[in-house]
Amino acid sequence: MTTTASVSTHILDTALGRPAQGVTVRLSARTGPGADWQPLGEGATDTDGRCRDLPAPPEGTAQVRLDFAVEPYLSGNGGGFFPEVTVTFAVRAGEHYHVPLLLSPFGYSVYRGS
């Protein structure tokens, strides 16, 4: 049995219809509401818009936060409204959480993928 959750993500630029390359993604975790966030690591999206090197959250993690530093990417593609996107979600041990970010200069959407 797996004792921790796993997390993956990718970013699609919906305005340009292509993956968003070079976006820094930071992963943090905490044991529950009100607990301090513990930074776990960061990576950058590749040519396919995927961040492939995020570490697994430690055992006992109840919530995970993904911080997407989108401002440099959007600035290089005409600018945008959001300098960063933060997504926080609950996790359970043994589950995999794929959280895609659909990004445009003036909006974004996230969901639990597969």
Q: Give residue-wise pLDDT tens across range 52-69.
A: 989 999 999 999 999 999
CATH code, domain carrying 54: 2.60.40.180
| pLDDT band with cut points at 50, 70 and 90 for residue 2 | low
pLDDT above 90 as % of the chain: 91
Provide the number of structural domains found in the chain.
Answer: 1
99 within some domain:
yes
Provide the sign of the torsion angle of the four alpha carbons 16, 47, 67, 60, taken in this order. Answer: positive
Q: What is the pLDDT of residues 13-38, one digit of tens each?
A: 999 999 999 999 999 999 999 999 99
101 within some domain:
yes
CA distance 109 to 35: 26
Helix then strand count (H, E) for the chain reads: 1, 10
pLDDT exceeds cutoff 50 at 1: no
CA distance 28 to 37: 6
42 within some domain:
yes
Closest CA to 110 of 20, 16, 23, 10: 10
Residue 104 belongs to domain spanning: 6-110
pLDDT exceeds cutoff 50 at 4: yes
Mean local confidence (pLDDT), 82-108: 96
Look at residue 74 in the predicted model and tell me its pLDDT. Answer: 96
71 within some domain:
yes
Q: Which residues contact 90 (CB under 8 A, 6 or more apart)?
A: 62, 63
pTM equals: 0.93
1 within some domain:
no
63 within some domain:
yes
64 within some domain:
yes
43 within some domain:
yes
